[in-house]
Amino acid sequence: MRESRAWTMANAAANNRVTGVCNLRPRLVARRRLAVSAGIFLVAFASVAFVRNSSAADDLTYQDSQPSTQPQSQPASQPQTQPASRPHGEPESQPGERRRRRGEGRGPGGGPPATSSAPGSHPASASSTTTTSTSTSTSTTSKPAEEPDHYSAVINGRIHPVVGPEIARGTVLAKNGKIIAMGADIQLPIECDVIDAKGMWVYPGLVAAGAGGLHGGGAVEDTTDVFSSAQLMALAGGITTAIAGNDAAKLTYGSVDDIVIRRNLFVNLNLDNRERPKVRSDLERVRNYIRELKQFELEKPRKKDAKAPDKDWLKGPYEQYLKLLQHEATAVTNANRAEDLRAVADIARQFDFDLVIRGAYEGWLCAEELGRAPVSVIVTPRQQVNDNLRVRDERSMYPHGATIENAHRLSEHGVTVAVVPPTTAITVMGLAGRDLLHLNMEAGFAVRGGMSNEEALRTITIDAARVLGVDDRVGSLEAGKDADMIVCDGDILHYMTQVHYSVVNGRVAYDKTRSTLFAHIRPEGKPELPKFDDVWPRRLEWRE
């Protein structure tokens, strides 16, 4: 009976999902390769600009080509406000510099314009000035076989950089897989893969702080099946980075380049109540060693008979502890009961090492203590304690209190929170909507538990990246970071939102229009927004 009801509910949910998405407003999705019409370009270049010095000429050409690269549908008021609202992009000079470099070919240093850009050195009558100069300069560069720079851009999107304010309608421009500029009026280079995100929301790719089955085992870059359906589905769920074993790796569907971001993320600590005293005393011993070492180094210049502390015993776990205490590594442990959480947080605080706690079901009971310790957590807002154990005794070794407010409470107290769904793999087993495909929904549940939308978004992007120690490369949209982003048709925290593009390393890894994965779910029909009747304690602010 119970089973059949679950089945019906799952079906109903699936139906709801399908019909609901069918009713979404159709959105214009167009992917264009912008090869600016060479004729106009060259005529403009040759007739107008060529008498000036070449960098000015380049700029002018870009201004000429601008209307054809970006649709002129913006109201007149916008251009005036936009330049002021460009806080994230690199300084304006950067694109210009890039342009000059493109116009004159890549010099070895990639620095200021090469001397060949002086007007006199150009062939005066050349009709194809740019091509000539480019080809000659590439032939004279030291590495002629060098691959051309690859530019890609998402334009016209509502950009959520996660760190920093939203850009209402802007462009993210990436070069060779790194974001180089972001803002409202970025000018695109001539050769650029463009995703038109008009009416769509752009986020950094989601980071799954718990995941399995997306990458191969062992050496991830050797064993990953880059055409696996799990990867494709995870990308369709917006995930572009995931933990793979003890590494952080990207979901480079269809490419084997640049898979691994960081190896050996964590030192795994067993901190259950049997092991704790041992770990504590071992840590103590290592800490004493570090103190003695410091002492020795202080004394060395003065004392001749100063002896370096014995370090032969620093092997195996002690070596790991040494790394931990010297902040060269991060520890990870599983702890769920409040008592355990307090204890492990205490150890981390006392010995001052970075600790990631997986689980933390009862973190809400000791959020203050966790907040004071150098601790971050990987939690599941929808976590439930196992009813099957039938333990209601508070002396029980099993956790017995979970709440949807867990993530919110922890984050309120300054703990870095990463959210993962109940099942950290792509699976069709169990209840629908609980697996890794619904990472975004899990963050939505954190909102239900009291978090703000922005904070919940952080738990699956920048904060998850911080927990994995890869926030220098992924987790937000900033110049200099990897071009990992997703383009979706709504708020990523909403359960009906579909990801339309996932970009990994500046390369489109998932394209909904090309993939057959969700071909049966089409955004057709009249927009009919769903009615919500559950309002406790708060709900997503669904756009009108």
Partner 1 sequence: MSEVSPISSSARPARPWRLAALLALVSIAGVAGPAVAQTPDDDERFTVIKAGKIITISGQEIRDGLIVLVNGKIRSVGRGIEYPLNARVIDARDRVVMPGLVDVGTRFGLPGYGRNGIFSQLTAADEFVWHAGMFDDLLDHGFTTIALVPAGGGIPGRALVTHTGGPAETRTLTSPGFIRIAAEKRVLRDALEKAKAEIEKVEKAKKDFEEKQKQEAAKKAAEAKAAPQSAPASAPASQPPASQPASAPASQPAFQPPPIDPAYQPLVDLIQKKDGVFAIIELNSPSDVLHTLQVLESFDIAHVFSLRNMPQSGFFEVASQLGEKKARLVMMPYADRMPSSVERILTIREMTKAGSTVAVTPPGDGLYERQIYLQRIAELVSEGWAREDALKAVTIEPMKVLGLDKRFGTIEKDKEADLIFLDGDPLAAGARVREVMIGGEIVHRVEGLE
Do the beta carbons of residue 499 and residue 510 sit within 8 Å? yes
250 neighbors 483 (Cβ within 8 angstroms): no
- Going by C-alpha positions, the residue among 359, 541, 357 that lies closest to residue 454 is 541
Q: Name which position in 35, 219, 306, 308 contacts partner 1 (CB under 8 A).
A: 219
Q: From residue 426, give the alpha-carbon distance in Å to each of 208, 229, 365, 435.
A: 12, 9, 31, 6
Interaction of residue 51 with partner 1, rule CB under 8 A? no
Residue whose C-alpha is closest to residue 420's, from 207, 144, 204: 207
The type of residue at 477 is L
Give the closest residue to 523 by CA, choosing from 503, 541, 540, 500. Answer: 500
Report the nearest approach of partner 1 to the CB of residue 229 (Å). Answer: 7
CB count within 10 Å of CB 173 equals: 29
Q: Rule CB under 8 A: choose which of 224, 240, 403, 459 binds partner 1.
A: 224
> Judged by CB, which is closer to partner 1: 215, or 438?
215
- Cβ atoms of 226 and 255 closer than 8 Å: yes
Binding range to partner 1, per CB under 8 A, among 109-117, 222-230, 434-442, 496-504: 222-230
**Smallest separation, CB 218 to partner 1 (Å):** 8
Residue 293 vs 517, nearer CB to partner 1: 517
Dihedral-angle region of residue 272 (phi above 0 means left; psi in -120 to 50 means alpha; beta otherwise): beta
Q: Is 18 in the site for partner 1 (CB under 8 A)?
A: no
> What is the rounded CA–CA span in Å between residue 122 and residue 46?
11
Using CB under 8 A, pick the residue from 13, 314, 397, 517 that binds partner 1.
Answer: 517
**Which one of the spans 97-105, 151-159, 253-261, 307-315 is the region binding partner 1 (CB under 8 A)?**
253-261
Select from 146, 222, 352, 524 the one that contacts partner 1 (CB under 8 A). 222
The answer to whether 256 contacts partner 1 (rule: CB under 8 A) is yes
- Indicate which single residue of 3, 73, 144, 227 sits in contact with partner 1 (rule: CB under 8 A): 227
CB 205 within 8 A of CB 470: no
519 near partner 1, rule: CB under 8 A: yes
- Give the span between the Cα atoms of 175 and 189, in whole angstroms: 10
60 touches partner 1 (CB under 8 A): no
CB 236 within 8 A of CB 440: no
Stretch that binds partner 1, among 157-165, 325-333, 404-412, 511-519 (CB under 8 A): 511-519
The nearer residue to partner 1, 44 or 517, going by C-beta atoms, is 517
- Residue (257 or 299) nearer to partner 1, CB: 257
> How many residues are recorded in the chain?
544
228 binds partner 1 (CB under 8 A): yes
30 binds partner 1 (CB under 8 A): no
66 belongs to the binding site for partner 1 (CB under 8 A)? no
Applying CB under 8 A, among 254, 309, 374, 523 the residue interacting with partner 1 is 254
Q: Which is nearer to partner 1, 18 or 60 (CB)?
A: 18
Q: Is the peptide bond before 537 cis (omega within 30 degrees of 0)?
A: yes
Interaction of residue 131 with partner 1, rule CB under 8 A: no
Taking the least distance from each CB to partner 1, the nearer of 254 and 309 is 254
Cβ proximity to partner 1, 223 vs 268, nearer residue? 223
Least separation in angstroms between CB 470 and partner 1: 23
Check binding of 225 to partner 1 (CB under 8 A). Answer: yes
Residue 135 as a binder of partner 1 (CB under 8 A): the answer is no
Residue 22 interacting with partner 1 (CB under 8 A): no
- Establish if 229 lies at the interface with partner 1 (CB under 8 A): yes
Q: Which of these ranges, 62-70, 87-95, 197-205, 220-228, lies near partner 1 under the rule CB under 8 A?
A: 220-228
Nearer to partner 1 (CB atom), residue 425 or residue 517: 517
Q: Does the footprint of partner 1 cover residue 223 (CB under 8 A)?
A: yes
Q: How far apart are CA 487 and CA 58, in angstroms?
A: 31
Among the candidate windows 39-47, 48-56, 217-225, 274-282, which touches partner 1 by CB under 8 A?
A: 217-225
Q: What is the DSSP string of 474-496?
A: SSS--TTSB--EEEESS-TTSTT
The footprint of partner 1 on residues 446-465 (CB under 8 A) is none
Dihedral angle of Cα 231, 199, 463, 186, to the nearest 10 degrees = 100
Q: Which is nearer to partner 1, 142 or 516 (CB)?
A: 516
Contact 331, 324 (CB under 8 A): yes
Tokens of 250: 């990207």
How near is the Cβ of 494 to partner 1 at its closest, in Å? 24
Site for partner 1 in 82-111 (CB under 8 A): none
Residue 88 CB neighbours (<10 A): 22
How many chain residues bind partner 1 (CB under 8 A)? 16
SS3 string, 392-453, reads: CCCCCCCCCCCCCCHHHHHHHCCCEEEECCCCCECCCCCCCCCCHHHHHHHHHHHHHCCCCH
Question: Which residue in 513, 511, 544, 509 sits closest to 529, CA to CA?
Answer: 544
Q: Which of 73, 516, 526, 534 binds partner 1 (CB under 8 A)?
A: 516
For partner 1, which is the closer residue by CB, 5 or 520? 520
Treating both helix axes as pointing N-terminal to C-terminal, what angle do 93-104 and 129-140 enclose, rounded to 10 degrees? 80
Please tell me whether residue 226 binds partner 1 under the rule CB under 8 A: yes
Closest to partner 1 by CB, 219 or 298: 219
**Residue 71: strand, helix, or coil:** coil
CB atoms within 10 A of CB 47: 9
Q: Of the listed pieces 93-101, 224-232, 435-443, 450-458, which binds partner 1 according to CB under 8 A?
A: 224-232
Q: Is the dihedral of CA 68, 74, 79, 82 positive or negative?
A: negative
Whole-angstrom Cα distance, residue 433 to residue 438? 6
Residue 365, phi-psi category: left (phi > 0), alpha (psi -120 to 50), beta (remainder):
alpha
| Residue ranges binding partner 1 (CB under 8 A) | 219, 222-229, 254-257, 516-517, 519
